[in-house]
Amino acid sequence: MQPLTGEYNFTRLETVLYGPGKLSAVSQELKRRKASRVMIVTSKTLGRSKLLERVKDAVGPALAGVFSETAQHAPSRTIEALIEQSRQAKIDAFVSFGGGTPIDSTKIAALVLLGGRIPHGMELYAGAPAESAGDLVHIAIPTTLSAAEFTPFAGVTDEKTRAKHGAGDPRLQPKVVILDPTVTVETPAWLWVGTAMRALDHAVEGAYSRRQNPVSNALASRAIALLLSHLKPSLATTGDDELNHRVQCQLAAWLSIFGGTNTRFGISHALGHQIGPMWDVPHGFTSCITLPHVMRFMAGVAPERFGPIAEGFGVRFDPENPRSAALECAERAAKFIGGFDVPSRLRDVGVAETELSRVADTVLTEIRVAQTVDRELKQEDLLALLKAAY
Let me know: does 264 contact 257? Beta carbons within 8 Å: no
Domain parsing of the chain, residue ranges? 15-183, 189-389
In this prediction, residue 121 carries a pLDDT of: 46
Report the 3 state secondary structure along 219-264: HHHHHHHHHHHHHHHHHHCCHHHHHHHHHHHHHHHHHHHCCHHHHC
In this prediction, residue 134 carries a pLDDT of: 58
Which listed CATH number (1.20.1090.10, 3.30.420.40, 3.40.50.1360, 3.30.750.200) goes with 189-389? Answer: 1.20.1090.10
Q: CA separation (Å) from 316 to 55, 256, 307, 326?
A: 45, 21, 9, 10
pLDDT tens for the chain, 390 residues long, are: 678 888 999 999 999 999 999 999 999 999 999 999 999 999 999 999 999 999 999 999 999 999 999 998 888 889 989 999 999 999 999 999 999 999 999 999 998 898 876 555 444 344 444 444 457 999 999 999 999 999 998 888 777 776 667 778 888 999 999 999 999 999 999 999 999 999 999 999 999 999 999 999 999 999 999 999 999 999 999 999 999 999 999 999 999 999 898 999 999 999 998 898 889 899 899 999 999 999 999 999 999 999 999 999 999 999 999 999 999 999 999 999 999 999 999 999 999 899 999 899 888 888 888 888 988 899 999 999 999 999
In this prediction, residue 130 carries a pLDDT of: 43
**Residue 349: count of CB within 10 angstroms of its CB:** 19
In this prediction, residue 122 carries a pLDDT of: 46
Same fold yes or no, 15-183 and 189-389 = no
In this prediction, residue 10 carries a pLDDT of: 93
In this prediction, residue 75 carries a pLDDT of: 85
Let me know: does 232 contact 245? Beta carbons within 8 Å: no
The domain made up of 15-183 has a fold known as Rossmann fold (3.40.50)
Q: What is the sign of the dihedral through the CA atoms of 296, 156, 115 and 92?
A: negative
**Residue 128: count of CB within 10 angstroms of its CB:** 10
What angle, rounded to 10 degrees, do the helices at 283-301 and 322-338 form?
A: 160
**Residue 291: count of CB within 10 angstroms of its CB:** 27
Q: CA separation (Å) from 306 to 82, 309, 317?
A: 42, 5, 8
Quote the CA–CA distance of 203 and 273 in Å, as a whole number.
17
Quote the CA–CA distance of 21 and 327 in Å, as a whole number.
42
Alpha-carbon Rg of the chain, whole angstroms? 20
Quote the CA–CA distance of 232 and 314 in Å, as a whole number.
17
DSSP state letters, 139-201: EEEESSS--GGG-SEEEEEETTTTEEEEEE-GGGS-SEEEE-GGGSTTS-HHHHHHHHHHHHH
Q: CA separation (Å) from 21 to 181, 183, 185, 277, 348?
A: 8, 9, 13, 35, 39
